[in-house]
Chain A
Amino acid sequence: MLSRVAENLYWMARYVERAEDTARLISVNSNLLLDMPARAALSWSTLIDITGSEEIFDALYSERSERNVIDFLCLSRDHSGSILSSLANARENLRTTRDVVPREIWEEINQCYLDIQEQTQAGLKPRHRDAFLKSVVRACQTLTGLIEGTLSHTEARTFLSLGRHLERADMTTRILDVRSDNLLPRSPEELIPFEHLQWMSVLKSLTAYQMYRQAVRLRVRGPDVLRFLLQDHDLPRSVLRSLEEVSWELQSLPNHDRPLAVATLVRAEVAEADVQTLARAPEQLHQLIDEFQIGFNNLHEAIAGAYFVVRPVKSASTQERTLGDDDD
């Protein structure tokens, strides 16, 4: 398989997963907001820090209001990590590689982008927000299901899967980060009555509440939830499970020594995290998540180094458009 095609598919899967998980991230924050006492000073601003997009946000908006943050994360075309931009990028990536996947997959991403774009043309009103986020999650799940159900087990599928699971590991840690020091007020006594609610909210945003109940069978408690979402082998959105998928997919590829070694290292870090302590120490949790993200980045670099071609920045597309049109 061509390196360029592999890279396009890998990014396409990352963009789709990012759109879905950004919707989940906003959803967990919205729910926390609804459940928390008014005096707990919850902030939308934190989502900007968690997604690592402070600079670009501050260049576009003067204040971190709820309205601005939602606009930035859902609709902004100037922010490549917004839901709309992610879907647009996924669609564009697939458009150049249409010939390697069944036509229905292209049609689905095309339709999905057009639908979401239409829904958001008038802006996003608070009362429509929940429905919007759900529809994004559902559209992305449909696409993933179509890939699972129709694409042959070839390298195309391997690279889609690599992108999806690496992005998922990254985004699940960001969702967990919502529980960290930055977001919540510092006086613990204020929070204890709500702790149960907060963790439940995180579980629900990852569609993991029922799976948690089945697996843990205890009331929702911080250390158990953290262990479940970070280290459970069976939950599809857990960080460890996502990294196991990455390792497993890598094994079917040629020249996988280095990326596989990096994946094993990152996986060990996640598996060995001391969740008992972390659940009670938001600051340490935040720090650890930063470290994980550095690890995910290294893993991406190792995959790119092994399979994608580093090439000079291409000329403006407009040049290709005018000069390249020489078909008779």
Chain B
Amino acid sequence: MGNVDWQQYPGKHFYDELIAAGGAPRPAAAPLCDMLESFTPRELNERKLAAEVAIRTMGITFTVYSEGSTIDRAWPFDIVPRIIPASEWRGIEAGLKQRVDALNLFIDDLYHDQKVIKDGILPGEILAQSVNFRPQCCGIDPPHGIWAHICGSDLVRDGDGTVYVLEDNLRVPSGVSYMLENRNVTKRVLPELFQTGRILPVDDYPAQLYDTLASLSPRPGDDPQIVVLTPGIYNSAYYEHAYLAQQMGVELVQGSDLIVDDDDVVYMHTVDGLKRVDVIYRRIDDLFLDPEAFRPDSMLGTPGLLRAWRAGKVALANAPGAGVADDKVVYAFVPKLIRYYLDQEATLPNVPSYLCMFDDDRRYVLDHLDELVVKPANESGGYGMLIGPRSTAAERAAFAERIQADPRNYMAQPTLALSTAPTLFDGAPEPRHVDLRPFILSGPETHVTMGGLTRVALVKDSLVVNSSQGGGSKDTWIVDTEED
């Protein structure tokens, strides 16, 4: 095992984020690649160990479930960052803003006049069969007309270098705490490269999140009482809930800590009696938020929360019902929605999609199951998918049946040649597939995180990056390459 030699890097079959086809580092990645090359195997190993120690002592964990017990696992992390030049990022950032702006207008329209359906842009049956449309939300005017205050959109890069939007997560997207912690770990492990000042900072996210939430307060002018609402320690994202509460300096509450009084105001139980709550950053899915309005058997939420929100006495982020746009069938319409609401062309392309509800598309999908990735419309965490090229005939047959039984619930996309990034295994960089989840905050202003959470499929050739499915992560650097 010698020093890192980029000429030996086997990443030639896919677009690689750091190394160009000839084996030379891309310009923005050159200082990093040079430094890694200069390390002896021992130095490189020391940096890797330092990252592991940092993750353990900082207690960065995520929770997985196995057979009824929860386990907190150390966050899987690779020390080699993924790099995007700032010039490219500015275009992606603008595309994301455009997309989320259109989605917010779309959600607001669906809960009011539904012009998008009347004008024939979106087929009415899509809405009629949407599992995330909440009739209870019709006619509500949330502050600034915004429903999805926090959005996490997944981006992938294809073989030709084009960046596509893979999906939009508008319910309770997670991962931003790991984006921030990845940066903290990387600063400890590779401090030298941060001294040039060209790596753009990410750590203002908690402050921006706080400001976005504060802007929703129904009592403007007063010091708003903001809380993070978690389902509790058994939730896989509990670490993130606690982290964000702590970083913003607000209370982390559970449903039972809150009470809605007859005056429709939300209070929390404190040792000093009841205290009014203005803004709730809820990390509980709609249906578990309020047993009065949704599932009566849910013990996670607070009875009356929706009543308080409808009365304008409390702000909920994201607003209930925002998940209607978090639907992989709606996703396919986003370029049309951008044209309809903003009168602009989408700057970030969608991955070409086939909607099984349409006869032609469905026929194509059924005939090409071995080439396509098929996804249910409303799943998260990488569950319930068919990856055609990796599937067996029996799996495809079972999926074909499911599609025919419920065509509205399935969409398919070509299998992309996801880009790779160098990831260390036994001291040598190996290409592994990555995606990227930036977070977009919408309030009086829109903020996009500088980069986002890069997830890595740690298993060789695997395309699945979800941490619940054995994925890992890397720090993401937006690097300013322009001359001073």
Verify B269–A2 contact, CB threshold 8 A: yes
A74-127 residues with Cβ-Cβ distance < 8 A to B are 95-96, 98-99, 103, 106-107
**Chain A 1-51 interface residues, beta-carbon cutoff 8 Å to B:** 1-6
Q: In the complex, what distance in Å separates the CA atom of A315 from the CA atom of B297? A: 10
> Which B residue's beta carbon lies closest to that of A307?
B271
The answer to whether A99 and B65 touch (CB under 8 A), given A4-B257, A254-B273, A323-B298, is no
Task: Encode contact with A along B292-313: 1 for CB under 8 Å, 0 otherwise.
Answer: 0000001110000000000000
B4 contacts partner chain A, Cβ-Cβ < 8 Å: no
- What residues of chain A lie closer than 8 Å to B251, measured between beta carbons? 2, 5
Q: Which of A159, A323, A328 lies at the interface centre, i.e. has the most chain B CB atoms within 10 A of its CB? A: A328
Chain A residues whose CB sits within 8 angstroms of the CB of B381 once the complex forms: 328
List A residues 145-203 near B (Cβ within 8 Å).
Answer: 155, 159
**Does B272 have its Cβ within 8 Å of any Cβ on chain A?**
yes
Of B169, B269, B381, which is in contact with the most chain A CB atoms at under 10 Å from its CB?
B269
A214: CB under 8 A from chain B?
A: no
Chain B min CB distance to A254 (Å): 5
Contacting residues, chain B, for A327 (C-beta < 8 A): 172-174, 235-237, 240, 283, 380
Q: Which residue of chain A has its CB nearest to the CB of B285?
A: A326
Interface string of B221-255 (1 = CB under 8 A from A): 00000000001111111001011011000011110
Knowing A106-B59, A320-B234, A328-B172, the reply to whether A3 touches B269 (Cβ < 8 A) is: yes
Q: Quick check: A325 and B236 within 8 Å, CB to CB?
A: yes
User: What's the count of A-B pairs with C-beta under 8 Å?
Assistant: 104
When the two chains form their complex, are residues A2 and B253 in contact, meaning their CB atoms are under 8 A apart?
yes
Does B242 lie within 8 Å of A99, measured CB to CB? yes
A253 to B270, CA, bound (A): 12
Check if A321 is an interface residue, CB within 8 A of chain B. Answer: yes
B268 on the A face (CB < 8 A): yes
Q: DSSP class of A's interface residues: helix, strand, loop or mixed? A: helix
Chain B residues in 8 Å Cβ range of A141: none
- Which residues of chain A are near B284, meaning CB under 8 Å? 324, 326
Residue on A nearest B65 in the bound complex, by CB = A321
Q: Is A309 an interface residue (CB 8 A)?
A: yes
The distance in angstroms between the C-alpha atoms of A5 and B169, with both chains bound, is 31
Give chain A nearest CB distance to B333 CB in angstroms.
Answer: 19
Complex Cα distance A107/B59, Å?
8
Interface flag for B87 (CB, 8 Å): no
Judge whether B256 is part of the interface by a CB distance below 8 angstroms: yes
A324–B272 CB distance below 8 A: no
List, in ascending order, chain A residues with CB within 8 A of B57's CB: 107
A321 to B254, CA, bound (A): 14
A62 located at the interface, meaning its Cβ lies under 8 Å from any Cβ of chain B in the complex: no
Q: How far is the CB of A95 from chain B (nearest CB, A)?
A: 6
CB distance from A36 to the nearest CB of B (A): 46
Decide if A321 touches B70 in the complex (CB within 8 Å).
Answer: yes
Per-residue B-contact encoding for A297-328, CB less than 8 Å = 1, 0 else: 00000000001010100110111110111111
Q: Closest residue of chain A to B243, judged by CB?
A: A99
For the complex, count residues of A whose C-beta is within 8 A of B.
34
Task: Tell me, yes or no, whether B152 is within 8 Å of chain A by CB.
Answer: yes
B70 A319 Cβ-Cβ under 8 A: no
A255 pairs with B273, CB closer than 8 A: yes
Q: How far is the CA of A112 from the CA of B101 in the complex (A)?
A: 51
| Pair A326/B288 contact, Cβ less than 8 Å | yes
Which residues in window 147-204 of B have CB below 8 A to A?
Answer: 152, 169, 171-174
Interface SS of chain B: loop
Residues on A with beta carbons closer than 8 Å to the beta carbon of B272: 1, 254-255
Who on chain A is nearest to B231 by CB? Answer: A324
Q: Measured between C-beta atoms, what is the minimum distance from A46 to chain B in Å?
A: 38
- Nearest Cβ on chain B to A91's Cβ, whole angstroms: 12
Minimum CB–CB distance from A157 to chain B (whole Å) comes to: 13
Q: How far is A315 from B296 in the complex, measured between Cα atoms in Å?
A: 13
Contact A317-B152, Cβ < 8 Å, known A99-B245, A307-B271: no
- Given the complex of chains A and B, what is the CA–CA distance between A106 and B246 in angstroms? 15
- Say yes or no: is B108 at the interface (Cβ < 8 Å to chain A): no
Tell me if A324 and B288 are in contact (CB < 8 A): yes
Q: A99 to B257, Cβ gap below 8 A?
A: no
Q: In the docked arrangement, what's the CA distance between A99 and B228, Å? A: 12
CB distance from B159 to the nearest CB of A (A): 27
Closest residue of chain A to B232, judged by CB?
A: A320
Across-interface contacts of A255 in B (CB, < 8 A): 272-273
Residues of B contacting A96 with CB < 8 Å? Answer: 232-233
B256: A residues at CB distance < 8 A: 4, 309, 311, 314
Instruction: Output the least CB separation between A292 and chain B (Å).
Output: 26
CB closest chain-B residue, reference A253: B271
Task: Output the nearest chain B residue to A314 by Cβ-Cβ distance.
Answer: B299
A320 touches which of B59, B240, B299 (Cβ 8 Å): B299
> CA of A254 to CA of B381 in the docked complex: distance in angstroms?
45
Counting CB contacts under 8 A, is B326 at the interface? yes
Instruction: Indicate which residue in B152, B257, B271, B285 contacts A254 across the interface (CB closer than 8 Å).
Output: B271
Question: Distance in Å from the Cβ of B178 to the closest Cβ of chain A?
Answer: 12
Q: With an 8 A cutoff between CB atoms, is B120 at the interface? A: no
Does B68 interact with chain A (Cβ within 8 Å)? yes
Closest to A324 in B: B231
Q: Which residues of A contact B236 (CB under 8 A)?
A: 325, 327
* Bound complex: CA A1 to CA B300 (Å): 20
Residues in B with CB closer than 8 Å to A320 are: 231-232, 234-235, 299-300
**Interface pairs (29), CB distance under 8 Å:** A1-B271, A1-B272, A2-B251, A3-B269, A96-B232, A99-B252, A103-B58, A106-B59, A107-B57, A107-B59, A254-B271, A309-B256, A309-B269, A314-B299, A320-B231, A321-B65, A321-B234, A324-B232, A325-B65, A325-B234, A325-B235, A326-B172, A326-B231, A327-B172, A327-B236, A327-B237, A328-B171, A328-B326, A328-B381
Interface residues of A (CB under 8 A from B): 1-6, 95-96, 98-99, 103, 106-107, 155, 159, 253-255, 307, 309, 311, 314-315, 317-321, 323-328
Beyond A4-B269, A159-B271, 9 additional pairs, beta carbon < 8 A: A3-B270, A99-B252, A155-B271, A307-B271, A311-B256, A315-B299, A317-B234, A324-B288, A326-B288
Q: Which A-B residue pairs are the 4 nearest by beta carbons? A: A324-B231, A326-B285, A328-B169, A321-B234
